[in-house]
Amino acid sequence: MRLQEDEVRIGDIRAVVIGPVGGGSFPGVLLYTDIFQLTESTLRSARRLASAGFVVCVPEIYPRGELAGVALEFDDAGKARGLAGAASMSAAQFDADRVAVLDFLERRADVSSLLVTGFCIGGHLAFRAAFDARVAATVCFYPTGLHNGALGSDVADSLERAAEIRGRLMVVFGSRDPHVPARARLETVGALYAAGLDDVELHVFQGGEHAFMRDVGARHDPVLTDLAFAEAVSFFRGR
């Protein structure tokens, strides 16, 4: 499938929109990056998703300040800057930016419905985006901080608000993820069930490390990546 890729501004937010060429309308996906922002690795993931028949919008998660317009390197310095960027944002700021991006997607003539996904911190942001009643389905890839509320500059109330989710939810973990170990996964799943979300689709990929879908570095697992993408696309299509 041929794709068109455009850089857009959504208020203060720089974003990349990738979608099929040739007209028609498709489900729109808000895709949240990890702490490194709009890297080529994340854009490759967005292109892969778009090629399955989606309009994918990938916004910067730190759209203001010194990291605006910056794609960070996958090294210690980049990690430190990305974590500092996260610490500069409150949950309320993340939420406000999410509303702006969903509003943007909803207004597009080529978007038929709203979906959300994200990786790492973006998985947590995707979970919070699911609070929006317009979101039909959400896929969270190895979301960090859900079990303890770690998100940005404050303690987020994400799991406490899980009952607000009305759309379908899928959560993907790696079994060897030190950021979301077995105990954290158990706490997360228990909280979801306690909130009444007993129809959540959960995947724990054996041997998957944190960021196993990032196609840069030793932690990348191409086989698990293919499986996770296939499950996500099938889930978004409603099986």
Beta bridge partners of 154: 151
**What CATH fold (topology level) applies to the domain 3-236?**
Rossmann fold (3.40.50)
Instruction: Give the model's pLDDT for residue 23.
Output: 87
Catalytic, 226? Answer: no
Instruction: Give the model's pLDDT for residue 5.
Output: 98
Catalytic, 132? Answer: no
Structure tokens at 213: 């879908």
In the set 120, 124, 147, 203, the catalytic residue is: 120
In the set 57, 147, 210, 221, the catalytic residue is: 210
Query: CB of 31 within 8 A of CB of 60?
Result: no
Instruction: Give the model's pLDDT for residue 80.
Output: 98
Rg (CA), the chain: 16
Secondary structure of the chain in HEC code, one letter for each residue: CCEEEEEEEECCEEEEEEEECCCCCEEEEEEECCCCCCCHHHHHHHHHHHCCCCEEEEECCCCCHHHCCCCCCCCHHHHHHHHHHHHCCCHHHHHHHHHHHHHHHHHCCCEEEEEEEEECHHHHHHHHHCCCCCEEEEEEECCCCCCCCEECCEECCCHHHHHHCCCEEEEEEECCCCCCCHHHHHHHHHHHHHCCCCCCEEEEECCCCCCCCCCCCCCCCHHHHHHHHHHHHHHHCCC
Other beta carbons less than 10 A from residue 107's beta carbon: 8
Instruction: Give the model's pLDDT for residue 1.
Output: 87
Phi, psi values for residue 174, rounded to 5°: -105, 140
Find where tokens 């696309």 sit: 233
C-alpha 157/C-alpha 195 separation (Å) is: 13
Would you put residue 229 in left (φ > 0), alpha (ψ -120 to 50) or beta? alpha
Splitting the chain (239 residues) into consecutive groups of 10 residues, what average pLDDT does each group show?
A: 96 98 95 98 98 98 97 98 97 98 98 98 98 98 97 95 98 98 97 95 98 97 98 96
Structure tokens at 144: 């960090």
Instruction: Give the model's pLDDT for residue 142.
Output: 98
Catalytic, 210? Answer: yes
Name the residue ranges covered by the structural domains of the chain.
3-236
In the set 97, 177, 203, 221, the catalytic residue is: 177
